[in-house]
Amino acid sequence: FVVQHTLIKSWKLASSGSCTMGRLDGKVIVLSAAAQGIGRAAAVAFAKEGAQVTATDINGEKLKELDNIPGITTKVVDVTNKDQVVALAKEHDSIDVLFNVAGFVHHGSILDCEEVDWDFTMNVNVRSMYLMCRAFLPKMLEKKSGNIINMASVASSIKGVVNRCVYSTSKAAVIGLTKSIAADFIEKGIRCNCVCPGTVDTPSLRGRIQAQPNPEQAYKDFMARQKTGRMCSAEEVAHLCVYLASDESAYVTGTEHVIDGGWSL
Ligand SMILES: NC(=O)c1ccc[n+]([C@@H]2O[C@H](COP(=O)([O-])OP(=O)(O)OC[C@H]3O[C@@H](n4cnc5c(N)ncnc54)[C@H](O)[C@@H]3O)[C@@H](O)[C@H]2O)c1
């Protein structure tokens, strides 16, 4: 149903005369966390480049905002729920690109991180990617071609960041998962890369700033670590994702793509 729906939307776009050659023409892309931030910007950018996008998120209300964009089909999916992930994969006869975006930022050092925080973060940030990759990889192996992109961060094995203990641990695991999948399946036509942003101006980042005891100071602290004098935009990360999703990056696998305005220099 999902695939048919996106095909109809693509046909409508083509027949409206507004279709030009795109960098992702004909590619079927499934992504998580598409309701806001980087995931949303990526879903829009993928569709603009001609992909048939299944945009998923746990937040159905916000996800609806993407419903009228040609090339995008939305579906409410909790990526920590195995049954929902397996059902999502079943709905796709074929997939070209899987983009695992969902992630949660816990604020604090190891001493601030209770077991429940640890388990929640590892579940959303790592186990979800394990579930999604396990569900979609067999479909990629069937046609000996597939491309997985995972959302990591420079706050990981790349850079030690204050008050990002379990978050950085989880994102280091994402880098490990990425390299492992790339190594295991390179000869089967599968590639797998990850994206490592620095500070990206997204609704959740704004929320984290507001949640601090002194939001004004928290904003200043975030800005003080921006060597370029500004934060990254979600659209800038989406540009990198379009490259990784396209055949332009066909020789690229097992790599972490840092986009941090020099923060990790
Ligand atoms: N914003 C940044 O500065 C930054 C920097 C580096 C990496 N990242 C990573 O990029 C990704 C996206 O971050 P963002 O700030 O753009 O997004 P965000 O935090 O603004 O939005 C996250 C989205 O994920 C969805 N989501 C949460 N739990 C989910 C679940 N269980 N199943 C499905 N969807 C779920 C939310 O509903 C939300 O729409 C995350 O993995 C984050 O760790 C963000």
Candidates 76, 88, 185; CA nearest to 135 is 88
The predicted-structure confidence for 155-210, as pLDDT tens digits, reads as follows 999 999 999 999 999 999 999 999 999 999 999 999 999 999 999 999 999 999 99
Whether 12 has a pLDDT exceeding 60, the answer reads no
With a 6 Å cutoff on the Cβ, whether 102 touches ligand 1 is yes
Asked if residue 152 lies in contact with residue 196, where contact means CB atoms within 8 angstroms, the answer is yes
Round the average pLDDT of the chain to a whole number and report it.
94
What would the mean pLDDT of 213-237 be, rounded to a whole number? 94
pLDDT for res 19: 52
Q: Which residues of 33-63 are buried (b: 16+ CB within 10 A; e: fewer)?
A: bbbbbbbbbbbbbbbbbbbbbbbbbbeeeeb
Q: Which residue has the higher pLDDT, 56 or 12?
A: 56
pLDDT for res 28: 98
Whether 18 has a pLDDT exceeding 90, the answer reads no
Q: What is the pTM of this model?
A: 0.93
Amino acid at 199: T
With a 6 Å cutoff on the Cβ, whether 233 touches ligand 1 is no
Q: Which residues are catalytic?
A: 167
The predicted-structure confidence for 97-130, as pLDDT tens digits, reads as follows 999 999 999 999 999 999 999 999 999 999 999 9
Report the separation in Å between the CA atom of 142 and the middle of ligand 1, taken as the mean of its atom positions. Answer: 30
Q: Residue 233 is encoded by which pair of tokens?
A: 């935009």
pLDDT classification of 8: cutoffs 50, 70, 90: very low
Q: Which residue has the higher pLDDT, 170 or 11?
A: 170
Amino acid at 69: I
Which residues lie closer than 8 Å to 130 by C-beta, 6 or more apart?
Answer: 177
CA neighbours closer than 13 Å in the CB half-sphere of residue 96? 18
With a 6 Å cutoff on the Cβ, whether 202 touches ligand 1 is yes
Q: What is the CATH number of domain 2-200+234-259?
A: 3.40.50.720
CA neighbours closer than 13 Å in the CB half-sphere of residue 177? 26
Q: Whose CA is nearest to atom 44 of ligand 1?
A: 200
Report the separation in Å between the CA atom of 93 and the middle of ligand 1, taken as the mean of its atom positions. Answer: 27
Pocket test for ligand 1, best of 38, 159, 175 (most atoms within 8 A of CB): 38
Pocket test for ligand 1, best of 166, 204, 219 (most atoms within 8 A of CB): 204
Report the separation in Å between the CA atom of 102 and the middle of ligand 1, taken as the mean of its atom positions. Answer: 5
Whether 261 has a pLDDT exceeding 70, the answer reads yes
Q: Residue 71 is encoded by which pair of tokens?
A: 């090339």
Pocket test for ligand 1, best of 31, 40, 54, 57 (most atoms within 8 A of CB): 57
What would the mean pLDDT of 51-80 be, rounded to a whole number? 98
Q: Is 138 exposed, middle or buried (0-12, 13-18, 19+ CB in 10 A)?
A: exposed
Whether 5 has a pLDDT exceeding 50, the answer reads no
Q: Give percent above pLDDT 90 in the chain.
A: 91
pLDDT classification of 17: cutoffs 50, 70, 90: very low
Report the separation in Å between the CA atom of 106 and the middle of ligand 1, taken as the mean of its atom positions. Answer: 12
